[in-house]
Chain A
């Protein structure tokens, strides 16, 4: 089946620290990969995505590279801010176009000043 495994949180970092949240996937087909973010009290928002191997998605200083050889899509940011505190979800969708998003369990990030 299709599944996403991401590192468990919570992750607590100091402001300006480097962030990595690991995400690996299992898919029966050829998926597109996503990172969603959920800020406190708000709905899920798409942060970035990549639709084929070696693609790099980026947004708001966050980056993730689609690595087919390691079935991974790790989220990175060079310098986190307090405002990045949120829950981050890795997700996949098969490229057939009619399959739903499959989410990981989420990783809570807390950034302290």
Chain B
């Protein structure tokens, strides 16, 4: 069985401040890791993913996440946030083997960026 823990349910920050959203996972098998974002009144959108290779992955809008196998973490960071980054962020894992890549999600972190 797999599980995902997002350590902060809410993170309020001021515009242009750096932010880190924490994610830890538990799994007995190798995993793929994902961050999804849900803007108000919209569906889930993939923000970034780690499948293999470089442990640092980046999104097109300035977010990055680093896979740390020893600490079983996949924290999401952005050096300077914008008001438009206000959303709920979900960390998720799936098995890297087999045929069912079902996602196991954390409970989400609500990022609120204030002016």
Q: Do A and B bind each other?
A: no
Interface residues in chain B, defined as those with a beta carbon under 8 Å from any beta carbon in chain A: none
